[in-house]
Amino acid sequence: MKQRERELERGELTRIIIGTVVASGVRGIRPRDLTLKLNSWGIPVTQNQMSARLNKLASAGRIKRIGARGLYSGM
């Protein structure tokens, strides 16, 4: 059964992304895993969008880029 796409309010996707990254714990999350998770929740995003968004949030200091390339965790 296909999930219905959610209509998001301004800033809601950013809060969902940060919350999901923080919930991933110290092991972190990759853009591909985040994409799969959000798509399963009915939020249509691509891996490239999530890669760019995670990089932007890390540059702004809202999440942390950890050791391995493309791996992010909460602050």
pLDDT for 54 beyond 70: yes
Is the residue at 4 inside a domain?
A: no
Q: Could you list the residue range(s) of the whole structural domain that residue 54 is in?
A: 12-73
> For residue 19, is it within any domain?
yes
| Within-domain flag for 6 | no
Give residue-wise pLDDT tens across range 11-43.
899 999 999 999 998 889 999 999 999 999 999
pTM for this model (two decimals): 0.84
**How far is Cα 13 from Cα 9, in angstroms, rounded to an integer?**
8
Q: Length of the chain in residues, anyone?
A: 75
Q: Which SS3 state, helix, strand or coil, does residue 36 take?
A: helix
> Is 1 within the bounds of a domain?
no
pLDDT value at 8 more than 80: no
Q: How many domains does the chain have?
A: 1
Report the CATH number at residue 62. Answer: 1.10.10
Nearest CA-CA partner of 17 in 2, 5, 4, 52:
52
What's the pLDDT tens digit per position in 64-73? 999 767 899 9
